[in-house]
Amino acid sequence: MSYKAKPIFFLNPVRSTPQLKEAMTSFLDEVWLPMHSYDDELVLFHYTNLEGLKGIINSRSIWLTHSSTLNDPSELEYGKNLILSILENVKSNESNSTMKIFLDGLITNFSAFNLFPYNTYVASFCELDNLLSQWRIYASRGSGYNIGIKFNSDTIFYHELHENEKESYVILRKIIYNADKQNEIVSNYVSSIVSSAKEAINWFNERGGLPEAWESIAAIEAVDILFDLMLSFKNPAFLEENEWRLIKVMQSNYKPYLIRFREIEGKLIPYLNTYIADIKNSKLFFPIYSIKIGPMLDENSYKSILEVFINNQAALNHKIGINPNVKITGAGYSLR
């Protein structure tokens, strides 16, 4: 089955401007979302250690970590600075005073990412199932595993497994590393919303003038996609990671008990436990496709142990089932 990407939602303006909405919809449908959609079966790989493997399979879930605690501290700053630079350049070349206020609002709202009453949680996957750098960094220097998970448009996500559970709106993004492509995407989007904002200003002026606080409200409407772009950009130096990213945006005061914490090197790391499932014959199943054994481990002995573990998990009474026929393989080479 294919995966069709969904838009991301951060801020909701009190009213929408039709010209802006049309430009944003066109950009999403024709430019942005197709970059993150997949026509064929999409299997992504999460590299982890033994503890992570057990936790993911036992719970049928992935931890989405707060965006401020990503491995690369400058990661979000990279995309943020790139986008701000383009916005500032467009603003400096703009002579229309109303448009300058609109662009100022865009810059202010965008700069306040993670200061709004919204928090962003992410989990990283790799497009490749046997990448040496991933083994070394995320899978105990090759003594760990990677878990292949299938995603499609019908894959559902939960944060609670109880009688009144509700599906969570989680999106999937393919990370873009090429700097020229990043600049092209941002410039394309900013150009389209500037043009549509000018159309809206003319339209309103022909009908008696702009609504009160239009510039600020329009900026709130247009900034959502800029957040989306920022979360999907990464420094070209990380190209070999081939990353895809699960993203969840939620209000900071929404069910705060859902947020859990772990400690790493004396620092609290907030995370959001997220169950992943497909529906088959009216039952939930964890869409695990494969487990690959790291190159520092003996494939034969560890494969038989993992087969016992998977059969054990398939037999247990869990609201999300698991297929016992998970593909288990080795890396195909050894590191000593």
Residue 285's CB is within 10 A of a number of other CB atoms, namely 16
230 touches 189 (CB < 8 A): no
Distances (CA, A) of 310 to 30, 36, 119: 42, 31, 34
User: Pairing between strand 320-322 and 283-286?
Assistant: parallel
Residues 143/254, Cβ–Cβ less than 8 Å: no
Q: Exposed, middle or buried by CB within 10 Å (0-12, 13-18, 19+), for 290?
A: middle
Q: CB of 62 within 8 A of CB of 147? A: no
pLDDT for position 164: 57
Phi-psi region of 332 (alpha: psi -120 to 50; beta: other; left: phi over 0): left
pLDDT of the residue at 73? 62
Asked whether 2 and 37 are in contact (CB, 8 A), the reply is yes
Torsion from C-alpha of 44, 185, 178, 39, nearest 10 degrees: 30
> Would you state the pLDDT for residue 163?
61
pLDDT for the residue 335: 83
List Cα–Cα distances, 248 to 43, 118, 229, 274, in angstroms.
Answer: 19, 10, 14, 10
> What global pTM score does this model have?
0.93
User: Residue 232 corresponds to which tokens in the numbers above?
Assistant: 């999907």
Residue 284 contacts residue 321 (beta carbons within 8 Å): yes
Nearest alpha-carbon partner for 198 in 22, 31, 20, 28: 20
Would you write out the chain's pLDDT as a tens digit for each of its 336 residues?
699 999 998 888 888 999 999 999 999 999 999 999 999 889 999 999 999 999 999 999 999 999 888 767 678 889 999 999 999 999 999 999 999 999 999 999 999 887 777 889 999 999 999 999 999 999 999 999 999 999 999 999 999 987 656 789 999 999 999 999 999 999 999 999 999 999 999 999 998 889 999 999 999 999 999 999 999 999 999 999 999 999 999 888 888 899 999 998 888 999 999 999 999 888 999 999 999 999 999 999 999 999 999 999 999 999 999 999 999 999 999 987
pLDDT at 193: 97
Indicate the burial class of 322 (C-beta count within 10 angstroms; 0-12, 13-18, 19 or more). buried
SS (H, E, C) 31-98: HHHHHCCECCCEEEEEEECHHHHHHHHHHCEEEEEEHHHCCCCCHHHHHHHHHHHHHHHHHHCCCCHH
Check residue 28 and give its pLDDT: 97
Structure tokens at 31: 């430019």
Integer Cα distance of 31 and 42 in angstroms: 20
